Every structure is written in C-alpha cells, then in structure tokens.
Structure 1
Amino acid sequence: MNPLTDTDASTDFPRLLQQHRGVLMKVAGTYAWHPDDRDDLVQEIATQLWRAWPDYDPARPFSTWMYRIALNVAISHVRSRTRGMQPEAWHEDHHDLADPRAHDHEGRQHVDLLYRFIQAQPPLDRALLLLYLEDHSYREMADVLGLSETNVATKIGRLKQRLRQEL
C-alpha cells in the first residue's frame, strides 16, 4: 500500500517522472535506435510506470524502482521487435546516438564500436552495461535487475572481457 495520499500521489508522480526523465531517455536510447521507436518506448515506459505507481514504496529510491520498470519494458520491447531479426539489422540507426564530442575520426570509430558492441548484447547485458556506464554500484544494479551482487560482478567481468576482445 502506498502511504502517500491520493492528492500527494497525483502530484508526486509527474514531478518525479520529470525529475528522472533522463532515465527514460537513456533506457529508450539504449534499446531503440530509431527516433520514432525511442519516442514510442518512452511513452510505453511512462505508461507502465503510471500503472505501477500505486505499488511504489516511497521508502525505496524512486530511481531504482523506475530503472527496474523501464528496463523490463525495454527488454520486452526488444524481444518483441527482434524476433527473427538478424543482429546486423539492429545497427542501422545507431549513428544518431553517437557521442557528439567524438569529432575526430578515431574517437568516432571508438564510439561506433562501443555502440555496436552494446547493441549486439542480449537485453539483460545491455541493461548491465547501461547501469555500469552510469556508475551505478553493483548493489544498485542488483536491486534494479533483481540479481545478486555476485552475479552482477560476474556478468560485468565477462562483459569487460568480451569488450576488450572485440575492441
């Protein structure tokens, strides 16, 4: 049961959603590369957050709860959209996500390789990479993804090793 009153709940949700809008954009940008798909995914995540809002426990961090729902929606989105699709097809729109700070050719190549690596990973590994690149602790990643800290550490270690091998 949400201890917030109905009035508080109706005003807190939009404020918290706006305050953490960056989470929505990062998750959607990691799982959908075409601008229209990203917009649709952001909308779907926001809808699912609103539906789940009555079950939110304000004693826990909003961002952890939000990440968990956003990543679950995004992973479902990827699974439904990529059935039967070849991994190469996932890359066609990665160029509009490239880091604008990478002006030099070599820097741009590194960014492109990183995006290709991320896009080629299974959805759970993409979620781990997103959280890791945002400097979340293993404990936070475990809370968001419903994994043990040991499992997170193991998976991150394996992802780092694969990244070193591919780049």
Structure 2
Amino acid sequence: MKSNQKEFLKILSAYQGIIHKVNQIYFKSKIDKEDNFQEVVYQLWRSFPSLQNKEKPASWIYAVAINTSISKIRQDSRIEFCDASDSALDMEMATPNEQQEQNENYQRLINALYKLNEIDKSIMLLYMEDYSYEEIAEIVGMSSSNIGMKIHRLKNRLQKQLKK
C-alpha cells in the first residue's frame, strides 16, 4: 500500500468519530448515516493531497464532513434526525436514574439543535467540541466576530428552548 494511503487510513481511523458526530446532528436513519459516512470518506480522500497540516487534521475533517452533509441534505431536499438510542456520542457511566436523566437531557438538546438551520448546527457542534471562534470561522467561512455574536445568540435561544 502506498504511504499516502497508509497515512490517510491512519488519520481516518483516529478521527472517524468526528464524522459520526456530524452524522448524528444531521441524519436520522442508519442508512443515511452510513451513506453520508461513505460520501465524507470519499470527499476526504479526494481532498487529502491538498491537506496542509497532516499533524492536526480535525478541522479539515469537520469542514469536509459538515459541507458534505449539508450538500446531501440540500440534494435530498429533506432533513432527518436520529434518536438518542442511535447515539455515537458517549455518555459518562452513571446509575440507571442518572443515565435516564442524561438520556432525556441529551434528547432535549438534540431536539433543540435539530431546529437550527444547517450553518447554526455546524457552529454549535464545533463550539461544543471546544473549537475557538477563529477555528469555527475558518471552517464555516465567516468572521470570528460574527461567530462570537452567533454563538451568543444561539446559546440564548437554546437555553430558552431547553427551559420549556
């Protein structure tokens, strides 16, 4: 196997969780998630030769995964979302009651995020992953001051929705 392929597979193996997180936010059915995963991997492979910093590929993977997902949604003219039981995001070990409460809170957050438009979903996903405003701005193609303002407004909006 060529070294380029080995390097790509190593990066994909280490960072495939990012693709699953993006799929979690944008797609409901397992089939759509699997289809989108394959499409994202294909797009990553196509753009791999142009990857500048192969030591820190997470931002690149987020950008490709988000853009590919949004393109698929627009192409299909429909948006679906997943149940909490399909979650690829791990929750802490907890007692059964705590686990149920975490599941309920998680589902409420997912439902609130689902109501956002595609760009706002992307911004909040990256924010929750502790990306800086500058990194988010680079991935979604906005200024960092605009990202800061959007995050502030989105946090307020989500807080209001979650208090209901």
Per the shorter chain, which TM-score range? 0.7 to 0.9
The SS at the match of 1:57 is coil
Residue in 2 aligned with 1:4?
none
C-alpha separation in 2, matches of 1:60 and 1:124: 27
Q: CA RMSD in A?
A: 2.4
* Structure 1 residue 54 displacement after superposition: 1.9
The SS at the match of 2:130 is coil
Q: How big is each residue's C-alpha offset from its partner over 1:86-145, in whole Å with a ceiling of 9 and x where there is no partner? A: x7xx45x42324576585354433222111111111111111111111111112211221
Aligned partner (choices 79, 87, 96) of residue 85 of structure 2: 96
Stretches of structure 1 that go unaligned for 5 or more consecutive residues are 1-6
Check conservation: 1:78, 1:123, Cα contact below 8 A: no
Farther-moved stretch of structure 1 (51-60 vs 96-105): 96-105
Taking structure 2 as the reference length, what is the TM-score of the superposition? 0.83
Stretches of structure 2 that go unaligned for 5 or more consecutive residues are none
Sequence identity (%): 30
Check conservation: 1:138, 1:149, Cα contact below 8 A: yes
* Structure 1 residue 154 displacement after superposition: 0.9
1:59–1:45: structure 2 CA closer, same or farther, 3 Å change rule? Answer: closer
C-alpha separation in 2, matches of 1:40 and 1:116: 22
Taking structure 1 as the reference length, what is the TM-score of the superposition? 0.81
Aligned length: 156
The SS at the match of 1:20 is helix
C-alpha separation in 1, matches of 2:157 and 2:26: 20
1:6-155 to 2 correspondence within 5 Å? 7-58=2-53, 61-81=56-76, 83=77, 85=78, 90=80, 93-97=82-86, 103-104=96-97, 105-155=100-150
C-alpha separation in 2, matches of 1:58 and 1:163: 34
Check conservation: 2:23, 2:36, Cα contact below 8 A: yes
